[in-house]
Amino acid sequence: MQLDNLFDKLWQQYIHESPDSGKIYNLLTGTGEEIINDHVAFRTFDDPRINVAVLGQFFKDLGYEEKGEYHFAVKKLFAKHYEHRTDETRPKIFISELICSEFSPFLQSTVKDCVNKIDPKKLATPDLLYSGTLWGELDYDIYKKLLSESEYAAWMYVFGFRANHFTVFLNHMKKLASIEAINEFLKQNGFKLNISGGEIKGTPVDLLEQSSTIANEVDVKFKQGKFKVLNSYYEFARRYTLDNGKLYQGFVTASADKIFESTDVNR
Ligand code: NI
Protein backbone atom coordinates (compact mmCIF):
# COMPACT_ATOMS: atom_id res chain seq x y z
CA MET A 1 0.00 0.00 0.00
CA GLN A 2 1.16 3.49 -0.88
CA LEU A 3 0.93 4.79 2.68
CA ASP A 4 3.08 1.94 4.07
CA ASN A 5 5.60 2.63 1.35
CA LEU A 6 5.70 6.34 2.21
CA PHE A 7 6.19 5.69 5.94
CA ASP A 8 8.86 3.12 5.16
CA LYS A 9 10.79 5.60 3.00
CA LEU A 10 10.51 8.26 5.70
CA TRP A 11 11.62 5.85 8.43
CA GLN A 12 14.61 4.54 6.47
CA GLN A 13 15.77 8.09 5.75
CA TYR A 14 15.23 9.07 9.40
CA ILE A 15 17.32 6.24 10.91
CA HIS A 16 19.97 6.66 8.23
CA GLU A 17 20.37 10.40 8.85
CA SER A 18 19.67 10.27 12.61
CA PRO A 19 21.32 7.01 13.71
CA ASP A 20 20.55 7.45 17.43
CA SER A 21 16.86 6.96 16.67
CA GLY A 22 17.56 3.66 14.96
CA LYS A 23 19.75 2.58 17.90
CA ILE A 24 17.00 3.44 20.39
CA TYR A 25 14.42 1.62 18.27
CA ASN A 26 16.62 -1.50 18.22
CA LEU A 27 17.24 -1.32 21.96
CA LEU A 28 13.51 -1.07 22.65
CA THR A 29 12.50 -3.87 20.30
CA GLY A 30 15.39 -5.89 21.77
CA THR A 31 13.65 -5.79 25.17
CA GLY A 32 10.52 -7.26 23.55
CA GLU A 33 8.65 -3.99 23.04
CA GLU A 34 6.62 -3.44 19.90
CA ILE A 35 6.85 0.12 18.63
CA ILE A 36 3.74 1.98 17.50
CA ASN A 37 4.22 5.54 16.25
CA ASP A 38 2.14 8.28 17.85
CA HIS A 39 3.02 10.88 15.24
CA VAL A 40 5.49 11.84 12.55
CA ALA A 41 6.44 15.52 12.31
CA PHE A 42 7.45 17.64 9.33
CA ARG A 43 8.77 21.17 9.02
CA THR A 44 8.43 23.58 6.12
CA PHE A 45 8.16 27.25 5.16
CA ASP A 46 4.88 29.08 4.51
CA ASP A 47 5.66 29.67 0.82
CA PRO A 48 2.39 28.64 -0.91
CA ARG A 49 4.30 26.15 -3.08
CA ILE A 50 5.50 24.06 -0.09
CA ASN A 51 3.40 25.12 2.92
CA VAL A 52 1.46 23.02 5.45
CA ALA A 53 -1.52 22.82 3.09
CA VAL A 54 0.67 21.42 0.28
CA LEU A 55 2.38 18.79 2.45
CA GLY A 56 -0.90 18.02 4.23
CA GLN A 57 -2.63 17.35 0.92
CA PHE A 58 -0.34 14.37 0.27
CA PHE A 59 -1.62 12.80 3.47
CA LYS A 60 -5.24 13.77 2.75
CA ASP A 61 -4.90 11.95 -0.59
CA LEU A 62 -3.74 8.88 1.38
CA GLY A 63 -6.70 8.79 3.78
CA TYR A 64 -5.94 11.46 6.36
CA GLU A 65 -8.07 14.42 7.49
CA GLU A 66 -7.23 17.75 9.10
CA LYS A 67 -7.75 18.00 12.86
CA GLY A 68 -6.11 20.57 15.18
CA GLU A 69 -4.42 23.93 14.45
CA TYR A 70 -1.61 25.38 16.54
CA HIS A 71 0.06 28.80 16.78
CA PHE A 72 3.55 29.34 18.18
CA ALA A 73 3.84 33.10 18.70
CA VAL A 74 7.49 33.33 19.80
CA LYS A 75 8.93 30.91 17.22
CA LYS A 76 6.52 32.36 14.58
CA LEU A 77 5.18 29.01 13.50
CA PHE A 78 1.81 27.71 12.44
CA ALA A 79 0.99 23.99 12.53
CA LYS A 80 -1.78 21.52 11.80
CA HIS A 81 -2.22 17.92 12.76
CA TYR A 82 -3.84 15.22 10.65
CA GLU A 83 -5.40 11.91 11.64
CA HIS A 84 -6.19 8.89 9.51
CA ARG A 85 -9.91 8.83 8.70
CA THR A 86 -10.47 5.13 9.42
CA ASP A 87 -7.34 3.48 10.79
CA GLU A 88 -6.54 4.54 14.36
CA THR A 89 -3.27 2.61 14.33
CA ARG A 90 -1.82 5.03 11.76
CA PRO A 91 0.43 7.72 13.23
CA LYS A 92 -0.88 11.24 13.39
CA ILE A 93 0.91 13.73 11.15
CA PHE A 94 2.11 17.05 12.61
CA ILE A 95 3.18 19.66 10.03
CA SER A 96 4.49 23.10 10.96
CA GLU A 97 5.50 26.06 8.78
CA LEU A 98 7.64 29.12 9.48
CA ILE A 99 5.77 32.39 8.98
CA CYS A 100 8.46 34.06 6.86
CA SER A 101 6.81 37.50 6.68
CA GLU A 102 7.60 37.97 10.37
CA PHE A 103 11.35 37.75 9.71
CA SER A 104 13.99 39.89 7.95
CA PRO A 105 14.03 40.61 4.20
CA PHE A 106 17.20 38.41 4.12
CA LEU A 107 15.35 35.38 5.49
CA GLN A 108 12.39 35.99 3.20
CA SER A 109 14.51 36.29 0.07
CA THR A 110 16.63 33.25 1.04
CA VAL A 111 13.52 31.10 1.40
CA LYS A 112 12.12 32.38 -1.88
CA ASP A 113 15.42 31.66 -3.67
CA CYS A 114 15.45 28.12 -2.26
CA VAL A 115 11.87 27.38 -3.31
CA ASN A 116 12.49 28.90 -6.76
CA LYS A 117 15.21 26.31 -7.29
CA ILE A 118 12.87 23.35 -6.71
CA ASP A 119 11.94 21.50 -9.89
CA PRO A 120 8.13 21.98 -10.10
CA LYS A 121 7.78 18.28 -10.95
CA LYS A 122 9.15 17.50 -7.47
CA LEU A 123 6.30 19.43 -5.89
CA ALA A 124 3.61 17.23 -7.38
CA THR A 125 4.15 13.90 -5.59
CA PRO A 126 4.51 12.69 -1.98
CA ASP A 127 8.17 11.94 -2.81
CA LEU A 128 8.67 15.60 -1.89
CA LEU A 129 8.26 14.59 1.78
CA TYR A 130 11.64 12.80 1.83
CA SER A 131 13.50 14.70 -0.89
CA GLY A 132 15.85 16.62 1.44
CA THR A 133 17.20 19.94 0.21
CA LEU A 134 16.27 20.79 -3.36
CA TRP A 135 18.18 24.09 -3.54
CA GLY A 136 21.68 23.03 -4.51
CA GLU A 137 24.90 23.65 -2.63
CA LEU A 138 24.55 24.87 0.95
CA ASP A 139 26.31 28.02 2.10
CA TYR A 140 27.56 28.06 5.70
CA ASP A 141 27.34 31.86 5.92
CA ILE A 142 23.67 31.73 4.95
CA TYR A 143 23.11 28.94 7.50
CA LYS A 144 24.71 31.01 10.29
CA LYS A 145 22.75 34.09 9.33
CA LEU A 146 19.46 32.16 9.32
CA LEU A 147 20.42 30.58 12.65
CA SER A 148 20.77 34.01 14.23
CA GLU A 149 17.10 34.68 13.41
CA SER A 150 15.43 31.28 13.61
CA GLU A 151 16.84 27.86 14.49
CA TYR A 152 13.87 26.41 12.63
CA ALA A 153 14.71 28.28 9.41
CA ALA A 154 18.36 27.18 9.62
CA TRP A 155 17.35 23.54 10.18
CA MET A 156 14.99 23.61 7.21
CA TYR A 157 17.66 25.23 5.01
CA VAL A 158 20.16 22.46 5.83
CA PHE A 159 17.91 19.36 5.94
CA GLY A 160 14.86 20.29 3.86
CA PHE A 161 12.11 17.74 3.38
CA ARG A 162 12.27 14.69 5.63
CA ALA A 163 10.58 13.51 8.79
CA ASN A 164 11.80 15.86 11.50
CA HIS A 165 11.04 13.16 14.08
CA PHE A 166 9.09 10.00 14.76
CA THR A 167 7.39 9.51 18.11
CA VAL A 168 6.99 6.33 20.13
CA PHE A 169 3.45 5.90 21.46
CA LEU A 170 4.10 4.80 25.05
CA ASN A 171 0.52 3.69 25.72
CA HIS A 172 1.25 0.61 23.59
CA MET A 173 4.46 -0.32 25.42
CA LYS A 174 4.54 -3.25 27.84
CA LYS A 175 7.23 -2.33 30.37
CA LEU A 176 8.30 1.18 29.42
CA ALA A 177 4.80 2.63 29.27
CA SER A 178 5.44 5.71 31.41
CA ILE A 179 7.41 8.80 30.49
CA GLU A 180 9.48 8.37 33.65
CA ALA A 181 10.39 4.78 32.74
CA ILE A 182 11.38 5.57 29.15
CA ASN A 183 13.43 8.60 30.23
CA GLU A 184 15.30 6.46 32.75
CA PHE A 185 15.89 3.77 30.10
CA LEU A 186 17.28 6.35 27.64
CA LYS A 187 19.62 7.90 30.22
CA GLN A 188 20.87 4.48 31.36
CA ASN A 189 21.73 3.74 27.75
CA GLY A 190 23.70 6.96 27.38
CA PHE A 191 21.21 9.11 25.46
CA LYS A 192 20.73 12.76 26.38
CA LEU A 193 17.25 14.17 26.87
CA ASN A 194 16.02 17.60 25.82
CA ILE A 195 15.63 19.34 29.19
CA SER A 196 14.14 22.59 27.88
CA GLY A 197 10.99 23.05 29.98
CA GLY A 198 11.99 19.98 32.06
CA GLU A 199 12.54 16.37 30.99
CA ILE A 200 8.79 15.80 30.81
CA LYS A 201 6.68 18.23 28.79
CA GLY A 202 3.01 18.33 29.78
CA THR A 203 1.11 16.60 32.58
CA PRO A 204 -1.75 14.11 32.83
CA VAL A 205 -4.02 17.17 33.24
CA ASP A 206 -2.90 18.33 29.76
CA LEU A 207 -3.79 14.75 28.62
CA LEU A 208 -0.38 14.44 26.92
CA GLU A 209 3.10 13.90 28.33
CA GLN A 210 6.10 14.07 26.00
CA SER A 211 9.86 13.81 26.14
CA SER A 212 12.56 13.71 23.50
CA THR A 213 16.24 13.06 23.00
CA ILE A 214 18.64 15.78 21.93
CA ALA A 215 19.09 15.69 18.17
CA ASN A 216 21.95 13.77 16.56
CA GLU A 217 24.93 15.91 15.59
CA VAL A 218 25.90 15.13 12.01
CA ASP A 219 28.46 16.36 9.47
CA VAL A 220 26.88 18.51 6.80
CA LYS A 221 28.68 19.43 3.60
CA PHE A 222 28.67 23.16 2.83
CA LYS A 223 30.42 25.13 0.10
CA GLN A 224 33.00 26.08 2.75
CA GLY A 225 33.58 22.51 4.03
CA LYS A 226 32.01 20.13 6.52
CA PHE A 227 30.39 21.43 9.71
CA LYS A 228 28.48 19.76 12.52
CA VAL A 229 24.74 20.44 12.73
CA LEU A 230 22.00 18.91 14.91
CA ASN A 231 19.45 17.09 12.79
CA SER A 232 16.74 14.91 14.34
CA TYR A 233 15.61 13.54 17.65
CA TYR A 234 13.32 10.75 18.82
CA GLU A 235 10.18 11.65 20.73
CA PHE A 236 8.05 9.73 23.24
CA ALA A 237 4.40 10.43 24.02
CA ARG A 238 1.91 9.16 26.57
CA ARG A 239 -1.73 10.11 26.10
CA TYR A 240 -4.53 10.22 28.66
CA THR A 241 -8.27 9.66 28.28
CA LEU A 242 -10.89 12.37 27.87
CA ASP A 243 -14.12 12.34 29.89
CA ASN A 244 -15.74 10.37 27.06
CA GLY A 245 -13.24 7.55 27.63
CA LYS A 246 -11.37 8.19 24.38
CA LEU A 247 -7.66 8.97 24.25
CA TYR A 248 -6.82 12.63 23.69
CA GLN A 249 -5.40 12.90 20.15
CA GLY A 250 -4.36 16.55 20.00
CA PHE A 251 -1.14 18.37 20.82
CA VAL A 252 -0.29 20.78 23.62
CA THR A 253 1.15 24.00 22.22
CA ALA A 254 3.30 24.84 25.26
CA SER A 255 4.90 21.37 25.19
CA ALA A 256 5.43 21.28 21.43
CA ASP A 257 7.09 24.68 21.71
CA LYS A 258 9.77 23.14 23.96
CA ILE A 259 10.08 19.96 21.86
CA PHE A 260 11.04 22.14 18.86
CA GLU A 261 14.18 23.07 20.85
CA SER A 262 15.54 19.52 20.58
CA THR A 263 17.41 20.67 17.46
CA ASP A 264 18.58 23.98 18.93
CA VAL A 265 22.35 24.36 19.01
CA ASN A 266 22.15 27.52 21.11
CA ARG A 267 20.00 26.12 23.87
NI1 NI B 1 6.43 15.64 18.06
Distance from the alpha carbon of residue 83 to the mean position of ligand 1, in angstroms: 14
Residue 7 CB contacts under 8 Å (≥ 6 apart), including other chains: 37, 40, 91
CA–CA dist 168, 235 (Å, integer): 6
Backbone phi, then psi, for 55, in 5-degree steps? -65, -40
Distance from the alpha carbon of residue 39 to the mean position of ligand 1, in angstroms: 6
Distance from the alpha carbon of residue 223 to the mean position of ligand 1, in angstroms: 31
The domain total for the chain is: 1
- The candidate with the shortest Cα–Cα distance to 39, out of 216, 237, 173, is 237
- b/e map of 223-262 (b: 16 or more CB within 10 Å)? eeeeeebbbbbbbbbbbeeeeeeeeebbbbeebbbbbbbb
Give, in order, the Cα–Cα distances in Å from 74 to each of 99, 103, 149, 196. 11, 12, 12, 15
Distance from the alpha carbon of residue 195 to the mean position of ligand 1, in angstroms: 15
Distance from the alpha carbon of residue 230 to the mean position of ligand 1, in angstroms: 16
CA–CA dist 41, 93 (Å, integer): 6
pLDDT score at 138: 98
**Residue spans of beta strands (DSSP E) within the chain:** 37-45, 64-72, 77-84, 92-98, 165-169, 208-212, 217-222, 225-230, 235-239
pLDDT score at 215: 86
Pairing of strands 217-222, 37-45: unpaired
SS3 74: coil
Contacts of 111-120 with C-beta under 8 Å, sequence gap 24+, read 111/45, 111/47, 111/153, 112/47, 114/157, 115/45, 115/47, 115/49, 115/50, 118/49, 118/50
Alpha helix segments (H runs only) across 89-178: 105-116, 140-149, 151-159
pLDDT score at 92: 97
pLDDT score at 264: 77
pLDDT digits (tens, 9 = 90+) for 240-264: 999 898 999 998 887 888 878 777 7
DSSP annotation of 231: -
160 Rama class: left (phi>0) / alpha (psi -120 to 50) / beta: left
Using an 8 Å Cβ cutoff, are 183 and 200 in contact? yes
Distance from the alpha carbon of residue 219 to the mean position of ligand 1, in angstroms: 24
Distance from the alpha carbon of residue 28 to the mean position of ligand 1, in angstroms: 19
> What range does the domain containing 65 cover?
3-263
Distance from the alpha carbon of residue 210 to the mean position of ligand 1, in angstroms: 8
pLDDT score at 6: 97
pLDDT score at 162: 97
CA–CA dist 50, 161 (Å, integer): 10
Q: What is the CATH number of the domain that holds 189?
A: 3.10.180.50
pLDDT score at 101: 97
Distance from the alpha carbon of residue 244 to the mean position of ligand 1, in angstroms: 24
pLDDT score at 1: 65
pLDDT score at 258: 81
What stretches in the chain show pLDDT beneath 50? 267
Q: Is 85 exposed, middle or buried (0-12, 13-18, 19+ CB in 10 A)?
A: exposed
